[in-house]
Structure 1
Amino acid sequence: MVGILQEALFGSIKSVYSIAKIVIPLMIVMELAKDYKVLDKISKGFSFIVEPFQMSKEAAFPLMVGLIFGLSYGAGVILQSAKEGNLTKKDTSLIGVFLIACHAVIEDTLVFVAVGANGWLLLGTRTLMAIVVTFVISRTMENNIEEYSKNPLEN
């Protein structure tokens, strides 16, 4: 029993450390990019991705981070952006919807390809489903825009 608890404790610490090794440098880079206005340029460059969903251009960077690095690492960037007031409730909700359907596409696709799945079919299906579901939900949110236009971390 003690061995199981010890293994669980050390396993948890190891997991937190491995996440922190990526999230902390990512947050530092994000802060530097914001301070030197690089984040604005990145957001403008990728704004075409969030425009169909009627999201703010500031939502592009957290969405891309979540898409590439997954929910574990992307959550830190999304929460930081929301905490700073850069994202509305609608932005965070739609980022969440998109990433639920289509997160860590590189990692997951490679894992499934390793066991014999068609990577292009898997990637295409996940991405298309995320786009369709997020688009439909973004249009249904139009009716309640006042509710979704506030910062999600206020109150």
Structure 2
Amino acid sequence: MKSFSTFFRELGREIYSVSITLFRLMIPVILVVKLLEELGGVELLAAVLGPLMGMIGLPDSMGLVWAATLSANIYAGMLVFFTQSQQEALSVAQVTVVAGLLLMAHGLPIEARIAQKAGVRLGATLLLRIGGGLLFAAVLNLIYSQGGWLQSPNELYWQPDPVDSSLGGWALAQVKSLLMIQLVIVLLLSGLKVLRLLGIERLMTWLLQPLLRLLGIGREATSITIIGVTLGLSFGGALLIREAQAGHVSKRDVFASMAFLGLCHSLIEDTLLVMLLGAHLSGVLWLRLAFSLISIALMTRWMDRRSAAFHQRYLVHPPG
């Protein structure tokens, strides 16, 4: 009985630690982003991004879609996309290119802050996410345009429900989102603890070691990376913050893991979301996976050729 009570006591401490870390990061950022939105920050960002869209085969109006996604999340970008797509005749290839941008770079105020808390420098995160998003979108555009693939007119598979745009409606939506995050944290940490007790986590680490070794990610970050890839960067990042602060994961592995999660996270939910817009699976899953794996494998090898002083100045800092 004592060991049983110890199990739940330790689990409760872990849930509290991860939850308080994540919510302390998220809630202030959510409030600041809302303020900036009310002051016209999204429209200003869209004006900057609009001209870049032509370089990847998209109309300028898609800059507003990406701006909303960068500042908030994929759901916000989807809502804006629905209004903009009524005015633009987009092909399936173009929608897949847009989806590539949304998948690579979204929710940056929160996700970049999480990476920063884990020990990754803000500049490195923004360069990786925004630069990686533009590069991936350019690769998709080149492949589809040169091959003449997916050039048929796009059909929307999703239509948004009416949204309460009042301040009260926004506040209620944020509370619901935070409660859902809390539920996922409880289930996630409970499941991880059970898997650890049963030895399954160790087996998963062993099975995935060849792939992660290819990517240059150490075994200490294996389970966290898996969580981030499947469930999302916020959850993987929150766990990585805890492990980094405890000294269980090296700074190099923190950077490598967060870099991989920056390009390739929430493979299930996010992929399904952008497919509702009409994006093709070839780009939003298979090419995204290939791009992320190749990019991180090259990046970690490049990192290993740089000095510790270079890492400290441009890539990492003590977590916290």
**Which TM class, normalised by the smaller chain length?**
0.7 to 0.9
Quote how far apart the aligned CAs of 1:121 are: 3.1
Q: TM-score if structure 2 supplies the norm length?
A: 0.42
Quote how far apart the aligned CAs of 1:33 are: 3.5
Residue of structure 2 equivalent to 1:21: 183
Conserved 8 A contact 1:49-1:60? no
Residue of structure 1 equivalent to 2:244: 82
Aligned equivalents of 1:8, 1:69: Cα separation in 2: 24
Residue of structure 2 equivalent to 1:134: 296
Residue of structure 1 equivalent to 2:103: none
**Equivalent of residue 106 in structure 1, options 243, 247, 268:** 268
Conserved 8 A contact 2:240-2:254? yes
Q: Deviations over 1:40-94 (max 9, x none)?
A: 2221221122101222112221111111111122222222332333311111111
Q: Deviations over 1:83-140 (max 9, x none)?
A: 3333111111111111111111222221222232221332111111111211121012
SS of 1:82's partner is: helix
| Aligned residues between the structures | 152
2:287 corresponds to 1:121: no
Residue of structure 1 equivalent to 2:319: 153
Distance 1:76 1:24, change over 3 A: farther
How well do the aligned residues superpose, as a CA RMSD in angstroms?
2.7
In the alignment, structure 1 segments of 5+ residues that lack a partner are none
Deviating above 6 A after TM superposition, structure 1's stretches of 4 or more consecutive aligned residues are none
Conserved 8 A contact 2:264-2:288? yes
**Equivalent of residue 54 in structure 1, options 203, 212, 216:** 216
In the alignment, structure 2 segments of 5+ residues that lack a partner are 1-164
SS of 1:18's partner is: helix
Quote how far apart the aligned CAs of 1:30 are: 2.3
Distance 1:86 1:30, change over 3 A: farther
Instruction: Give the counterpart letter for 2:228 in structure 1.
Output: G
**Equivalent of residue 33 in structure 1, options 162, 173, 195:** 195
Aligned equivalents of 1:145, 1:62: Cα separation in 2: 26
Instruction: Give the counterpart letter for 2:319 in structure 1.
Output: L
Among the aligned pairs, what percent are the same residue? Answer: 21
Q: TM-score if structure 1 supplies the norm length?
A: 0.81
Distance 1:86 1:44, change over 3 A: farther
Quote how far apart the aligned CAs of 1:145 are: 6.3
Aligned equivalents of 2:274, 2:172: Cα separation in 1: 28
Quote how far apart the aligned CAs of 1:151 are: 9.3
The answer to which of 25-34 and 90-99 deviates more is 25-34
The answer to which of 48-57 and 62-71 deviates more is 48-57
**Which structure has the larger Rg over C-alpha atoms?**
2
